[in-house]
A = this chain, B = another copy of it.
Amino acid sequence: MPLSPEQQAEIDAQRSAVTPTLRAVSPGIEQHLYTAHPVLDHGFVRVIDYMGDDAAICQAARVSYGKGTKSVQNDEGLIRYLMRHWHSTPFEMCEIKLHVKLPVFVARQWIRHRTANVNEYSARYSILDREFYIPAPDALAAQSEVNNQGRGAALEGEEAQRVLRFLTDDAMRAYDHYEEMISQDGQQGLARELARMNLPANIYTQWYWKVDLHNLFHFLRLRADAHAQYEIRVYAEAMCRIVADWVPFAYGAFEEYRLGGASFSKSMVDCVRRMLKGEAVTQETSGMSKREWREFLDVVQD
């Protein structure tokens, strides 16, 4: 359970304080505000704040004085047009702020997306909690045999047991020693900024993360993708569900033109043209490498 009773009470208090505003309000995301959506064994994603809605995207694209909406249908059409033709700035006009609890090795991947604002819990200043990510049995995957950067089927039997024992025992021992090192009971106590270095990368950290919708879509396209590491993908999927409720038109366009779409190379486009004319193109005549040809077939065949 990720939340203490005190934390839950703080969240409940925030969810009960309704205030009138003149700003654009998105009813779909209001229902998510402050609530912790669980991810992995101890993690979560919480919406802390947001700016804008579908109409705000159109309003910015039109640089309009009022709501700028002629009709809801117009708005959806404009949003799809903007997404299809890679107009990024109107989507930057929406912003979301999340509170995320996540393992450190996931945080290290996440932070590589630089166009966002981050405040992380400071282990120089504060003491970290004893919470570690231990994979569920079906997530305890073997190294892929075909892809250096991937994973295969779940480990089984004794090997799985041993891995879980290593992960659990090493985490607990490292945390015990962390506590012993910083303790000021009968000793000076090691500086927190040093003691933290003993903690493994599956310990949980947390941060406030704020990003605009365009850059969030970029993040989601890469991290909700099947090739992303499972442990970050589940965060991306939780965010996809939130965004779908927040800006349904924009999310629909994102699914149509990014998530569900595909990038075709010059050779791929050429092959499609030839195949549609009836030519029987093979890898040898395609101009593609074997690997690219396989990737191409994965897309154009079910």
Q: Which residues of A contact B (CB under 8 A)?
A: 3, 6-7, 9-11, 13-15, 17-25, 30, 33-34, 48-52, 56, 59-61, 63-67, 77, 84, 86, 89-90, 92-93, 95, 97, 99, 103-105, 108, 111-112, 114-115, 117-122, 124-126, 133, 135, 140-144, 148-153, 155-156, 159, 162-163, 166-167, 170-171, 173-174, 177, 180-182, 184, 187-194, 196-202, 206-208, 210, 212, 222, 229, 255-257, 259-269, 272-273, 275-276, 289, 292, 295, 299-302
Closest chain-B Cβ to A222's Cβ sits at a distance in Å of: 7
Find out whether the CB atom of B200 lies under 8 angstroms from the CB atom of A180.
Answer: no
Contact B210 A93 (CB under 8 A): yes
* Contact sample, A vs B, 16 pairs, CB 8 Å cutoff: A13-B67, A14-B66, A93-B119, A105-B196, A108-B108, A114-B114, A125-B148, A125-B149, A152-B188, A155-B190, A170-B177, A198-B200, A200-B201, A201-B201, A264-B264, A273-B302
Integer count of this chain's copies in the complex: 4
Q: Check A263–B263 contact: CB distance below 8 A.
A: yes
Q: Is the CB of A191 within 8 A of B63?
A: no
| Residues in chain B near residue A21, CB distance under 8 A | 18-21, 23, 25, 30
Our pick among B64, B93, B199, B289 for the contact of A97 (Cβ within 8 Å) is: B93
Q: How far is the CA of A61 from the CA of B23 in the complex (A)?
A: 25
| CB contact under 8 A between A118 and B105, given known A14-B22, A66-B14 | no
Q: For A255, give its contact among B92, B266, B302 (CB under 8 Å).
A: B266
**Contact yes or no, A266 B273, CB < 8 A:** no
Q: Is the CB of B49 within 8 A of A52?
A: yes
Of B121, B149, B194, the contact of A135 (CB 8 Å cutoff):
B194
A276 to B274, CA, bound (A): 11
Question: Are A143 and B49 in touch, CB under 8 angstroms?
Answer: no
Sort A-B residue pairs by CB-CB distance and give the 6 closest, nearest first: A10-B66, A260-B266, A151-B191, A92-B117, A197-B202, A142-B188
Cβ-defined partner of A118 (8 Å) among B30, B89, B125, B207: B89
The complex places the Cα of A163 from the Cα of B177 at a distance, in Å, of: 8
Please indicate the chain B residues that have their CB under 8 angstroms from the CB of A149 in the complex: 122, 124-125, 193
